[in-house]
Copies of this chain bind each other. A is one copy, B any other.
């Protein structure tokens, strides 16, 4: 993590940006070490417990796994919820570049636990960007300090990826507030016992609003109403009616929430049923605000993929170094040896390692762009970084999470039969990871975003700018002339050329033949994520070579070289097939008549 911060994104340059003066490498190291203590000592030990003894539901009350509430208290009191948030509201004001690393650790420790802060971050972002001063004053500090938590209420039974179908209603009241009525599903930490209040951010339609996504507004609906002095008032009319029985991330309660069914005991005394809600920003601009939460959450879910993959890797390495089975094929040991001696176990571990390092490098570079886009004094620098960050979000989310499926599967595989036994622990990562390619927008939704908003809209300009930067890295690798650099440059060059071809295809066909473009949208995303991750590892090769010449951290830098070369030869080399699928494969995707399925 520190290597990426120091060498791939030059954290010291981010620390030149006004507001980030204290965020240099020393700070980063100190923060990471403190975070590691909390993750290792408090949060990670609850991971298996959360799987074996998940959150439970009874009579409207959700009880989380024993230990979770206390751990969250420690998390909040340590100031971790506010790490990236403004000091004005009680946060630490650190750059995302450092925050993302902490979020990765927290998710490696416990994916289910980390979801609660993740959703709260989204709610904070939305209020910061679009909330009125009154809403900010009432809610932000409590969220930033982790006294309360936040949720995102988008999905309804008929409205998943398709938010145009949202039916939840909001009725304006005389006092300027609204009353909200409807059912929301899949609400992560929609109800729990870890904080005093829960601040729901809810998509709903005001009566008379336009149909479709242009008629959706965003509301704050707190579980408990908040008095003028900030103390908690009466229970609002929003209730958890059940939680889901899931394949993984079992400790995180996934709630069905009913808004406005008049169940609150206090309702009888007040003005009838309806959950009291407060408009965020303007009416009918809810989708836009929702994307603020969503983009923060999408990036964070990409980091979840990296995190669970890293955990699976560490688990598998430990087993491979301990389990004795069979003689090495090269005769280097004359008896049964630990399985890490066997080439295919090595191949699996290297695949896991290289995938994680590639995706982490990509995510770190994206985080640094975010920091510059939001805080750099130069408008042009901000704009360039914003474009780059926006291009990266679907890659960080889509590619890192798809990667995590492969890596957690290999994690089970390294364990052999023991991997399939739940007590071993590897299976939990495999089960947990599968949600990551689905929530906060499926891989297909990320791919649509990449094809449409991120590639088609600017005619491939952002994509080509990245290709040009990659070509520069290739040239530097070739100039260095080492075996590793040349091997990486070769694969990088082939992948970049395939990428450019695919971008041209996407831009040319986007309007003429949308089916053809969208038939290849996921292969395009996987190709692009693969390329960008490989590129960052290529940049790492240049850094590592330079530092090796200076005699610095020899073993670590050698490992970087090997890992980057493995990535290039085993993973970047998949790009040829991915490009084929986009460029030649569209016709056969849509050709089968529906009734033939």
Contacts and interface: CB of A to CB of B under 8 A. Distances in A.
Nearest to A586: B343
Interface stretch (A26-34, A82-90, A347-355, A469-477): A347-355
A326 B159 CA distance: 9
Contacts of A330: 514-515
B317 A597 contact: yes
A585 B597 contact: no
A283 to B, nearest CB: 23
Interface in A428-475: 430-431, 434-435, 437-439, 442-444, 447-448
A576 B431 CA distance: 31
Contacts of A160: 325, 416-417
A405 to B, nearest CB: 6
A435 B161 CA distance: 32
Which of A324, A523, A593, A597 counts the most B-chain CB atoms under 10 A from its CB? A597
B405 A420 contact: no
Contacts of A420: 246-248, 434-435, 438
Interface string A418-433: 0111110001001100
A555 B596 contact: yes
A356 to B, nearest CB: 12
A569 B597 contact: no
Interface stretch (A174-182, A303-311, A374-382, A557-565): A557-565
Contact of A422 (B155, B247, B566): B247
B431 A247 contact: yes
A343 B518 contact: yes
Given A409-B434, A594-B340, A247 B427 contact: yes
Contact of A325 (B162, B247, B430): B162
Interface in A474-501: 487, 491
A417 B522 CA distance: 18
A329 B345 CA distance: 43
Interface string A321-355: 10011100110000010001011111101100100
A588 interface: yes
Interface string A497-527: 0000000000000000011001111110000
A443 to B, nearest CB: 7
A215 to B, nearest CB: 15
A161 B325 contact: yes
Contacts of A563: 592
Interface residues of A, number: 95
B421 A344 contact: no
A343 B519 contact: yes
A402 to B, nearest CB: 9
B574 A522 contact: no
A57 to B, nearest CB: 14
Given A324-B158, A417-B439, A423 B585 contact: no
A155 B573 CA distance: 37
A207 interface: no
A419 B444 contact: no
Contacts of A186: 417
B566 A589 contact: yes
A577 interface: yes
A245 interface: yes
Contacts of A320: 597
Given A317-B597, A590-B346, A514 B329 contact: yes
Nearest to A339: B161
A247 B344 contact: no
Interface in A383-415: 405, 409, 412-413
A437 B442 CA distance: 26
A418 B26 CA distance: 45
Given A421-B244, A521-B343, A589-B566, A413 B437 contact: yes
Nearest to A483: B587
A567 to B, nearest CB: 8
Interchain residue pairs A-B with the least CB separation, the first 7? A573-B580, A566-B588, A344-B444, A569-B585, A343-B518, A574-B577, A247-B427
7 contacts: A164-B326, A186-B417, A246-B420, A247-B427, A321-B594, A413-B438, A570-B589
Given A343-B515, A555-B593, 12 more contacts: A245-B421, A246-B422, A247-B420, A247-B421, A329-B515, A343-B519, A343-B590, A344-B521, A346-B590, A346-B592, A413-B443, A569-B585
